[in-house]
């Protein structure tokens, strides 16, 4: 169980230019353009920039145009917090089939957040079967390879037959705080350069330490502790294996070796195959077994490929390969994933960020995130009695406003990573409508995103362009608000399910269709409408931003037992 799967051919050519800071020329293929909508939209008429489709990708192993219709497609699976989806793509990035199934997130007292792993696996079987059947019915051909993008930090304790011993503990479960405190007291922060990530309540290691203290008998009985990508792999190919990208989020991986930190494993009693094998993103890890092929509706010989942490997969699916380009994924979590040059992690870790693994050499990924996004809007829907989130977003006024929220309903994300942070709304009056209230929540998320961009700028990372993906990218009003508040260009991608697309790109690499993720991005990624900051609105939000910073400090000072930060 401890072996590591090695990567294949190293990327070269075009990506080497990007690492050096040069922007390669783009081909002449037009970008996909969405229908007219509200907002200041600049529609691209040529190539969509870095990561856009090119007429003749230079680094492909085999050009997508050489494949015959119906010869096969790639399946990208996204294992999320409230549901899982599977989308089949042609080798040129066109979605042809999809399946989806949801499951409840169990939230309880004390900040617990859990999933029923059996419900997640049932949803995955449903989604994959549906997408595979639809792809065949559409004449797109069989699924030749699949890869998964999975939520980070979540894990499941299973027995040797892969039966869950308890519910899965997910990212923002606050019980990890006690585990983080325990590891910090044991000197684990000395491993931050090796892990590349800050030690906090979020990471899997902290949750494992808390579980070991809370239920030592279960901890001893568990044969494996698996992330969701690992668990899916165990069902598909017969043994647990996960991508280095996702397993780095456990805080137990040595990012330099891209393998497990044996000392850390030993300290948490995780040696002897209790964790999954480690595989590089885009590496083929095995063929789906005949039994799994029948259960999941996959063809014989279908290949499983190591995927990625969901935010890294979204970065790939957005084509944000150049340093300074970012994917802004608005899903259950509101996350900005930024490509930057690799280097020492300490200065990023000190500010609450980290250096995540990237499939291309010389590059890294840093995440700036908050626990807002869809989860906060779902809360607002329930609170206000709206029929759905779309109805809420339709009521949001277009003009700038001064009401805003501090969006810490589930604690804060970067740069603070404080499980005890709490949310608040400022600037409401008796005239405030439901649309105004939702707009305040959206402004708060956008202002928190700007705060993260400002901290990243202090660290030498200038976010040049954000590429919008996820469910929130369906609202032009929200897209325009993001651009206005951040004072930066926002581009909506033609495929909003960028996690699925990024996973499918890695599947294409593992299947031998493209040499690396860059070549897959050249062929499979296309951009849509562009939103530029409106000068008057951007100026108005620059006036609001200092008040937001004071409000963040005020909510902390007002909480019980505050230490005066």
pLDDT tens digits, 510-564? 999 999 999 999 999 999 999 999 999 999 999 999 999 999 999 999 888 765 4
Q: Closest Cα partner for 485 from 453, 517, 516? A: 453
Q: Using the CB atoms, write b or e for 436-460: b if 16+ within 10 Å.
A: bbbbbbbbbbbbbbbbbbebbeeee
Q: Name the more confident of 25 and 131.
A: 131
Mean confidence (pLDDT) of the chain: 87
pLDDT band at 452 (very low <50, low <70, confident <90, very high): very high
pLDDT band at 33 (very low <50, low <70, confident <90, very high): very low
In angstroms, the Cα distances linking 389 to 85, 399, 428 are 19, 20, 21
The full DSSP string for 493-554 is ES-S-HHHHHHHHHHHHHTTSBSSHHHHHHHH--EEEEEPPPHHHHHHHHHHHHHHHHHHHH
pLDDT digit string, tens, across residues 187-221: 999 999 999 999 999 999 999 999 999 999 999 99
Share of the chain above pLDDT 70, in %: 87
Q: Does residue 66 register a pLDDT over 80?
A: no
**Confidence (pLDDT) at 307:** 98
CB 89 within 8 A of CB 96: yes
pLDDT band at 21 (very low <50, low <70, confident <90, very high): very low
pLDDT digit string, tens, across residues 333-344: 789 999 999 999
pLDDT band at 473 (very low <50, low <70, confident <90, very high): low
Report the predicted TM-score, pTM, of the whole model to 2 decimal places: 0.84
Q: Does residue 354 register a pLDDT over 90?
A: yes
In angstroms, the Cα distances linking 395 to 383, 391, 403, 437 are 15, 7, 15, 10
> Under DSSP, is residue 441 helix (H, G, I), strand (E, B) or coil?
helix
**Confidence (pLDDT) at 106:** 95
Secondary structure of 458-495 as H, E, C letters: HCCCCCCEEEEECHHHHCHHHHHHHHHHHCCEEEEECC
The yes-or-no answer to whether 72-317 and 325-463+547-555 have a common fold is yes
Q: Using the CB atoms, write b or e for 524-547: b if 16+ within 10 Å.
A: bbbbbbbbbbbeebbebbeebbee
Q: How far apart are CA 49 and CA 466, in angstroms?
A: 12
Q: How far apart are CA 4 and CA 335, in angstroms?
A: 29
**Confidence (pLDDT) at 466:** 94
Give, rounded to a whole angstrom, the gap between the first and last alpha carbons of the chain. 45
Q: Name the more confident of 292 and 8.
A: 292
The CATH class that applies to domain 72-317 reads alpha beta
**Confidence (pLDDT) at 398:** 82
Region of 101 on the Ramachandran plot (φ > 0 left; ψ -120 to 50 alpha; else beta) = beta
Mean pLDDT of 435-441: 94
pLDDT band at 166 (very low <50, low <70, confident <90, very high): very high
**Confidence (pLDDT) at 268:** 98
pLDDT digit string, tens, across residues 234-272: 999 999 999 999 999 999 999 999 999 999 999 999 998
Share of the chain above pLDDT 90, in %: 75
**What are the extents of the domains in the chain?**
72-317, 325-463+547-555
Q: How far apart are CA 117 and CA 108, in angstroms?
A: 17
Mean pLDDT of 416-432: 92
**Confidence (pLDDT) at 8:** 39
What is the token pair recorded at 536?
């008057």
**Confidence (pLDDT) at 212:** 98
**Confidence (pLDDT) at 317:** 97
pLDDT digit string, tens, across residues 70-120: 579 999 999 999 899 999 999 999 999 999 999 999 999 988 999 999 999
pLDDT band at 68 (very low <50, low <70, confident <90, very high): low
**Confidence (pLDDT) at 433:** 95
Q: Does residue 501 register a pLDDT over 60?
A: yes
CB 510 within 8 A of CB 281: no
pLDDT band at 413 (very low <50, low <70, confident <90, very high): confident
pLDDT band at 460 (very low <50, low <70, confident <90, very high): very high
Looking up tokens 């406003």, which residue turns up? Answer: 401
Q: Cα-flanking dihedrals φ and ψ of residue 352, to 5°?
A: 95, 0
**Confidence (pLDDT) at 371:** 81
CATH of 325-463+547-555 among 3.30.420.40, 3.40.50.150, 1.10.3720.10, 3.40.50.1950 = 3.30.420.40
> Under DSSP, is residue 309 helix (H, G, I), strand (E, B) or coil?
strand
Q: How far apart are CA 381 and CA 181, in angstroms?
A: 35
In angstroms, the Cα distances linking 254 to 17, 53, 105, 221, 540 are 28, 34, 31, 26, 45
């Amino acid at each position: 169980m401890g072996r590591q799967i090695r990567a294949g051919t190293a990327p070269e050519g075009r990506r080497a230019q990007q690492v050096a800071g040069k922007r390669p020329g783009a081909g002449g293929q037009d970008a996909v353009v969405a229908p007219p909508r509200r907002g200041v939209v600049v529609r691209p008429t040529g190539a969509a920039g870095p990561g856009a489709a090119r007429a003749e990708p230079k680094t492909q192993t085999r050009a997508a145009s050489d494949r015959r219709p119906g010869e096969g497609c790639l399946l990208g699976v996204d294992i999320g917090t409230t549901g899982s989806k599977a989308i089949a793509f042609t080798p040129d990035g066109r979605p042809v089939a999809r399946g989806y199934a949801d499951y409840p997130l169990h939230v309880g007292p004390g900040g617990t957040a859990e999933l029923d792993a059996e419900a997640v696996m049932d949803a995955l079987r449903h989604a994959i079967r549906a997408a595979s059947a639809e792809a065949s019915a559409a004449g797109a051909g069989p699924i030749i390879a699949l890869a998964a993008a999975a939520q980070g930090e979540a894990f499941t304790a299973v027995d040797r037959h892969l039966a869950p011993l308890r519910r899965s503990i997910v990212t923002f479960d606050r019980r990890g705080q006690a585990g983080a405190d325990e590891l910090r007291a044991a000197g684990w922060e000395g491993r931050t350069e090796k892990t590349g990530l800050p030690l906090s309540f979020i990471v899997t290691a902290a949750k494992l330490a808390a579980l070991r203290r809370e239920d030592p008998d279960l901890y001893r009985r568990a044969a494996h502790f698996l992330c969701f990508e690992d668990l899916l792999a165990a069902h598909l190919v017969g043994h647990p294996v996960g991508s280095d990208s996702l397993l780095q989020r456990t805080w137990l991986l040595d990012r330099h070796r891209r393998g497990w930190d044996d000392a850390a494993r030993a300290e948490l009693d995780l040696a002897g195959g209790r964790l999954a094998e480690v595989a590089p993103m885009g590496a083929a890890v095995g063929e789906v077994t005949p039994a799994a092929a029948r259960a999941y509706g996959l063809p014989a010989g279908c290949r499983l490929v190591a995927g990625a942490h969901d935010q890294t997969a979204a970065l790939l699916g957005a084509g944000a390969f150049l340093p300074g380009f970012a994917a802004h994924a608005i899903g259950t979590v509101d996350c900005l994933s930024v490509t930057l040059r690799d280097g020492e992690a300490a200065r990023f870790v000190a500010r609450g960020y980290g250096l995540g693994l990237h499939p291309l050499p010389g590059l890294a990924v840093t995440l700036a995130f908050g626990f807002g996004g869809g989860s906060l809007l779902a809360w607002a829907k329930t609170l206000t009695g709206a029929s759905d989130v779309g109805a809420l977003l339709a009521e949001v006024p277009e003009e700038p406003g001064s009401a805003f929220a501090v969006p810490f309903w589930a604690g804060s994300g970067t740069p603070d990573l404080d499980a005890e942070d709490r949310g608040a709304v400022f600037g409401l009056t008796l005239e405030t409508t439901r649309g105004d209230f939702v707009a305040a929540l959206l402004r708060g998320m956008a202002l928190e995103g700007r705060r993260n961009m400002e901290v990243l700028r202090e660290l030498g990372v200038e976010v040049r362009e954000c590429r919008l993906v996820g469910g929130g990218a369906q609202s032009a009003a929200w897209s325009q608000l993001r651009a206005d508040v951040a004072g930066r260009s926002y581009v909506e991608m033609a495929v909003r399910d960028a996690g699925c697309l990024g996973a499918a790109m890695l599947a294409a690499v593992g299947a031998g269709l493209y040499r690396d993720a860059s070549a897959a991005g050249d062929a499979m990624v296309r951009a849509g409408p562009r939103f530029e900051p409106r000068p008057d609105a951007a100026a108005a939000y620059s006036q609001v931003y200092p008040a937001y910073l004071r409000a963040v400090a005020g909510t902390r000072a007002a909480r019980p037992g505050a230490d005066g930060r």
